[in-house]
Amino acid sequence: MFWMISALAGLNLIVILWIQTYGKRKTVCRLCLISLLYVQYVTAQAQYCTKPTDAQINNPNAPPFPNLPTSFQTRIEAAIIDKNYTMSGEEYFDNPNNQASLSLMRSGAIYKLIFDYANDQLFYVEPDQACVVHNLTTDDNNLLFGLQFVKGFPHVFTTSGVLHFAKKFGEQYIGKTQIRGVYVDHWRTCMYWAAVKANFTLDYYFTDQNWITAAGWPQIPVRAEVTGVMIQSDGTTYNIHHYYDYTDFRAAVYADHTVFETPSGVVCPGRKQTRNIPQLGQAFMYREEIIGTGGVQEVDVYYDDSYSLLRYDFRPSGQWPYGNNDAAAEIHDFNTGVAYAIDKALQNCSIIPIQNGSFDSTINVTNAISTNAFVMRMKTPKQIFYLDSNFTFEGQRYARGLLCDVFISNRSDFSLGGFKYSAILEYYFLAMGQSSSNNDGNTNPGGSDIPIQLIVTLPTVPQTITYMFYDFDQENPELTVFDISPCFSGADTISFKLTFFGTFDAPVRVYKQLFLFETLNAIAAATGASPLRITSPQFYFQDDRAFFVATLVDAAPVLAKFKQIPGMVQQNHNDISYTSISSAQDCASYCYSNTNFTCLSFDYCPTSQICSLSKYGQDDGKTLATNAQCSHYIKTINMNSRPEVPLQTAWMNLKNNVTKGAVQITINFPNKNMQYTASDISNAITTGQNRNPSAVSTLNQFQLLNNKVVPNYDDLILTGLSVDDCAASCVTEDSFVCSSFEYDYNSGTCYLSHIHPDETPKLIKNQNGFDLYIRDYTAKFSKIAGTTVLSNSDTIYQNIFDENQCAKLCVDYNGFSCKSFDFCTDIGTCFLGKTHYYDAPQTNIKSDLLCNHWSRNYMDDFKKKARYQIPLVNNRIISGIDASQCAKLCVQEETFSCASFNYCGNLTECRLTSNSIKGGQVIAQTNAYCDLYTRQSFPDGTAYTPNASKYYGTKPTKSGYTGGSMAGLAIGMIILGIIAAFAGLMIYLKVAHKTTDDVAIQFKRHFNDETDG
């Protein structure tokens, strides 16, 4: 074991020489650490000592040579007398696990050597955390603790091997003495170090056999002393004298296993890869804590590569498009390049292009620099986590109390806030052999390669960011997670129900999620729409049938699929140009629907209204030119994608496929596969998420009749609602004018109707358990409190008891088109007027605390289709007004029959037109900023028909109709009466019985196939 002792003292000598020469050598001086392979007994210049004689070596009075433990740790203090400084160190030796390390400190700087015998590597870690890797077999330090080869595999010397090797040194027992007050045995040998031409004696001292050590080991090292000479480069002789004191010697390694690993955050280029890079699945979900200098931020991530969808929930810092710090969800659809930014508190939504700063998107950097364009594509799981061959395995550490395999990488492509940084990434993955089990009840219990923690160090900032990963689940998120329903409403949606017949007992219902998943895929295939557009899906089971209920939403506005580059245009590569294009949205529609070639970009100049399409996109490297009057728009997803299927087309496709029996799903049960076919489809449904929020105050707009009903006139049946929810649904229903509803308190069923029962009281019947609510006529008017406008009116009714009665007089009045009324409670007087509040002279508007003015709410005459527009014919454009004023202008337009209007909120612009989507006259086009309002009725409630001049505000007595015209009109009214009577008979036959499905959802009684918007 004598050699081991020599190694301990020799180790310290080497370290001193290494530190002394470091400033003269750029790289770590591996020759400066002693290699006992070079220790020889030769005669050299400046000889200091000679090899002991055989008699001295074989002294019969010498005690047995000390044995050291196979594992130990110790502290060392070195006094370098000839250089006038002190150095300290910690040494760890672990023979059973083939590892050793040495940590040294001088002048406050720490140096570390790590010996990885199992993988034949030696790591030098410098104070600035630079790391150099050497082959342990060929490095001069490979015998620091002794090395032998077993069938070509390097291995630390065993105790017997050390004792055998030490005999070659000629150790001499000097005798007993006292060091630091401790009785010791003194040994000596003479060595020659050829690398630096040094000849010296090595004296080392072990505790006396009778001394009781703190470590409990019989004899431990106490001191080593080196005294000798060294030949310098100029040929002169230099005296060397070092003391090495060993303290806190322990007969095992008590320190954490990390002492045998490179320090955290240190990258060692050239390190052998001893553990495969973790492999992530193509779908996963997790919660993440991001810990930085500013605090902690939480993020939830849902990733599905198979559908090219990603969602992450976070709290924005007020940046565009949110404008606040409410909790938000952002859903990225890499099939179209569109992002849906949803404020979860307000349920607001902005549909925007996916941004290049998104952590899940990647760009072609070369083309981005040359073209100012960004090619968006979805990152793979490895790209999101930066897992590539640049990572190396550096050992095991604990994170959050979990044993982890740690990987490290030094890279220059780390993305933060849309910028790239040089960074050191240190990934902690759950250690091999460990497992993670989730509790979500799905098919994958967890698996291996689970990320636990990521530490990112940005040296140039400087900043350290820690990412903690929780609940990491490598399976497909449910498609319901990617819910974009807050981004669409009203005419942008079609709620529907599919019916499947079969046996759906308890063992089958266990597979509810599989039914849901397979049906979503089948509907996507049948409609031609992305599964993302099938929102809020639910599956309901009865014993002999099942219902799939969902809402189909429209495609995202075309302009949201293009990224705008302001002030730039494509240079000399425009393939088609159009003139008189009123908006970039219209230009985007031309690009997206172009069939002559695949349009990948366009230029739009609003001043000249020129739209230029180009087949060149983001990857083509075409140079852009400056043009302050124009903007260049590029598809965010550079692919030859076909236009998305419009809502009505998707709905028609689905109905046709159901009719043909082509919507089928296959469920793989354990013992057999079962196929189910959708046999019925209906859009007469209102799903739960589309119910209006509860508002008790809404009931104030209705007159209550207890235990009353109006049989057989229900237009829409809703289940599972409270009475106030039922009232709110009536007020906001946009498919017909809801004038009353009945509520069944026993079943929570709500029956909406267009009938205003007080106009035909004989329809009202007694029915216990039901209440009838009749909507106030004031719902058709907007209130201006404490104001009179019509005090000069010559149409006055007295003894009127409430505003609702006055409103009914205005609605029913035939003397002129009643547009407003004043009601004064103190005198019970109702004043009817021809003038709307917006048109009244300022001198007529007076303050009166006892009176209220009510003007017609013209918006009731229109049906809204959000984010759409139609081409303008006989158009009139007015700016600087709101949508309600626009509706009023459309109703009062006299130069043409205004059938609809577009209102663009970004421009506060009103566009009146005689075009309408009713009856398929024109097709609506998507527009990110405009809404389409289609006229449904005249002010008196009759259905709107074009060019009916009697509704342009002219008194009947001055209509100018001829007798023949009136006769023709009379005949026409007779025919209309016959048709109306026939229609009423058919409705009565259909709705004679108030029966509903037993499914706990809301749905209309009849199939509603309106496609006119």
The 10s digit of each residue's pLDDT in 786-819 is 999 988 888 999 988 888 889 989 988 888 888 8
What is the average per-residue pLDDT within 887-900? Answer: 87
Q: Say which residues have a Cβ less than 8 Å from residue 245's Cβ, sequence separation at least 6.
A: 76, 77, 78, 79, 180, 222, 223
Note the pLDDT of residue 152. Answer: 36
Domain contains 930: yes
In terms of domains, do 94 and 171 share one?
yes
**Beta carbons within 8 Å of 869's beta carbon, 6+ residues apart:** 585, 902, 904, 911, 924, 925, 927, 930, 932
Structure tokens at 963: 């007798």
What are 444-479's pLDDT values in tens digits? 555 678 999 999 999 888 889 999 999 999 888 888
Question: Span 118-135, mean pLDDT?
Answer: 90
In the prediction, which pLDDT does 621 show?
53
Q: Is residue 324 part of a domain?
A: no
Assess whether pLDDT exceeds 60 at residue 480: yes
Burial 311-344 (b: 16+ CB within 10 A, else e): bbbbebeeeebbeeeeebbbbbbbbbbbbbbbbe
99 and 238 fall within a common domain: yes
**Residue 251: φ, ψ to 5°:** -85, 25
Q: Would you state the torsion angle of the CA atoms of residues 552, 557, 562, 567, taken in this order, to the nearest 10 degrees?
A: -170
What pLDDT is attached to residue 372? Answer: 33
**φ/ψ of residue 402, rounded to 5:** -105, 135
Task: Give me the pLDDT at residue 11, please.
Answer: 40
Please say if the pLDDT value at position 524 is more than 90: yes
Taking only the tens place, the pLDDT of each residue in 220-236 is 999 989 899 988 888 89
For all residues of the chain together, what is the average pLDDT? Answer: 79
Radius of gyration, CA atoms only, the chain: 43
467: β partners: 290, 454
Task: Please say which residue of 260, 283, 311 terminates a domain.
Answer: 260
Q: Give the per-residue pLDDT at 808.
A: 86
- 1013: which 2 tokens? 């918007």
What is the Cα–Cα distance from 368 to 376, expressed in whole angstroms?
11
**pLDDT tens across 744-784, in order?**
887 778 899 888 887 778 888 888 888 999 988 887 788 89
In a shared domain, residues 161 and 14: yes
pTM: 0.59
Is 32 within a domain? yes
Label residues 7-31 b or e (16+ Cβ within 10 Å = b): bbbbbbbbbbbbbbebeeeeebbbb
pLDDT in tens, 585-595: 999 989 888 88
Q: Is residue 576 part of a domain?
A: no
Domain boundary residue, one of 657, 685, 713: 685
Within a domain: 973: yes
Secondary structure class of 54 (helix, strand, coil):
helix
| Residue pair 621/371 in contact by the 8 Å Cβ criterion | yes
Instruction: Work out the average pLDDT over 107-122.
Output: 89
Supply the angle between the helices 2-21 and 159-166 in degrees, to the nearest 10: 80
Q: What is the pLDDT of residue 949?
A: 54
Q: Please say whether the dihedral angle defined by the alpha carbons of residues 757, 758, 762 and 768, taken in this order, is positive or negative.
A: positive
| CATH number for position 828 | 3.50.4.10
| Count of structural domains within the chain | 5
Alpha-carbon dihedral angle through residues 751, 754, 758, 763, given to the nearest 10 degrees: -70
What's the whole-number mean pLDDT along residues 825-846?
A: 87
Q: Which of 177-186, 520-529, 711-720, 793-802 has the lowest mean pLDDT?
A: 711-720
Q: Residue 585 has what pLDDT?
A: 92
Same domain, 135 and 236: yes
447 within some domain: no
pLDDT at residue number 780:
78
- The whole-number pLDDT of residue 654 equals 93
The verdict on residue 276 lying in a domain is: no
- Asked whether residue 153 carries a pLDDT value surpassing 50, the answer given is no
Question: For the ranges 218-222, 437-441, 618-622, 729-733, which has the lowest average pLDDT?
Answer: 618-622
pLDDT above 80 (res 893): yes
Q: Tokens 């400033």 map to which residue?
A: 23
Non-local (6+) Cβ contacts of 413 within 8 A are 386, 420
Beta strands in 702-808 (DSSP E): 702-709, 716-718, 740-744, 749-753, 765-775, 781-788, 796-797
Residue 917's domain comprises 859-958
Contacts of 432 (CB under 8 A, 6+ apart): 275, 405, 448
**pLDDT for residue 232:** 85
Q: Are residues 674 and 702 in the same domain?
A: no
Closest by Cα among 430, 425, 339, 437 to 385: 425
Do 863 and 892 lie in one domain? The reply is: yes
Rounded Cα–Cα distance for residues 727 and 703 (Å):
11
- Same domain, yes or no, for 109 and 256? yes
Phi, then psi, of 695 in degrees rounded to 5: -150, 100
Is there a single domain that holds both residue 147 and residue 248? yes
Whose CA is closest to 257, among 99, 425, 434? 99
Q: How far apart are CA 323 and CA 306, in angstroms?
A: 32
Res 219 pLDDT > 90: yes
Residue type, 413: D
* Token reading at 995: 């029966």
**Which one, of 252, 242, 263, lies nearest residue 216 by Cα?**
252
**pLDDT for res 413:** 80
Dihedral pair phi/psi, residue 945, rounded to 5°: -130, 140
Shared domain check, 876 and 936: yes
Q: Which of 244-248, 528-532, 667-671, 679-683 has the lowest mean pLDDT?
A: 679-683
**Strand runs labelled E in 121-251:** 121-125, 131-135, 148-150, 153-155, 172-179, 182-193, 198-207, 221-231, 237-250
pLDDT at 709 exceeding the cut of 50: yes
Quick check: 106 pLDDT over 80? Answer: yes
In contact, 171 and 191? CB cutoff 8 Å = no
| 628, part of any domain | no
Instruction: Give the integer Cα–Cα distance in Å for 795 and 790.
Output: 9
Predicted pLDDT of residue 969? 44
Transcribe 315-381 into DSSP letters.
---S-TTT-S-S-EEEEEETTTTEEEEEETTTTEEEEEEPPTT-TTEE--HHHHHHHS----EEPPH
Same domain, 765 and 793: no
Residue 23 and residue 39 in one domain: yes
Q: Is the pLDDT of residue 327 over 80?
A: yes
In tens, the pLDDT along 62-89 reads 998 888 888 999 999 989 998 898 989 8
Give how far the C-alpha of residue 98 lies from the chain's centroid of Cα atoms, to the nearest Å: 45
Which of the listed residues 207, 242, 260 is the one where a domain comes to its end? 260
Cβ neighbours for 2, distance < 8 A, ≥ 6 positions apart:
65, 163, 166, 167, 169, 171, 187, 189
Looking at residue 840, what is its pLDDT?
84
Q: What is the structure's pLDDT at 45? A: 52
For position 238, which CATH number holds? 2.50.20.30
Residue 852 and residue 885 in one domain: no
- Let me know if 598 is exposed, middle or buried by CB neighbors in 10 A (0-12, 13-18, 19+): middle
CA distance linking residue 322 with residue 478, whole number of Å = 26
What is the pLDDT, as a whole number, of residue 638? Answer: 60
- Whose CA is closest to 163, among 328, 3, 331? 3
346-404 pLDDT, tens digit each: 888 999 988 765 666 554 433 333 333 334 457 778 778 878 888 999 989 999 999 99
Cα(891)–Cα(861) distance, rounded to whole angstroms?
A: 8
Listed residue (164, 172, 169, 191) closest to 55, CA to CA: 172
Q: What pLDDT is stored for residue 209 in this prediction?
A: 92
Burial 732-745 (b: 16+ CB within 10 A, else e): ebebebbbbbbbbe
Express each pLDDT in 18-38 by its tens digit.
Answer: 433 333 333 333 323 333 333
Amino acid symbol at 778 = T
Identify the band that residue 974 occupies on the pLDDT scale cut at 50, 70 and 90.
very low
Please give the pLDDT value at position 195.
62
Tokens of 606: 């609003």
- State pLDDT tens for residues 675-708: 999 998 887 665 444 444 334 457 778 888 888 9
Both ends of the chain: CA-CA distance in Å? 95
- Beta sheet of 740-744, edge-to-edge order: 685-686, 1002-1003, 716-718, 749-753, 740-744, 765-775, 702-709
Out of 200-204, 244-248, 970-974, pick the least confident. Answer: 970-974
Find the CATH number of the domain harbouring 512.
Answer: 3.30.70
β-strands 909-913, 685-686: how paired?
A: unpaired
Q: What is the pLDDT of residue 829?
A: 93
**What percentage of the chain has pLDDT greater than the value 70?**
79
Which of 484-493, 974-983, 994-1003 is predicted least confidently?
A: 994-1003
CA 319, 323, 325, 328 torsion: positive or negative?
negative
Beta carbons of 1002 and 996 less than 8 angstroms apart: no
Contacts of 746 (CB under 8 A, 6+ apart): 769
Residue whose pair of structure tokens reads 């009127």 in the numeric block = 800
- The pLDDT, as a whole number, for residue 957 is 37
**42 pLDDT higher than 50:** no
Query: For the ranges 21-25, 528-532, 965-969, which has the lowest average pLDDT?
Result: 21-25
Identify the CA nearest to 508 among candidates 355, 673, 367: 673
Does residue 955 register a pLDDT over 70?
no
pLDDT for residue 1013 is more than 80: no
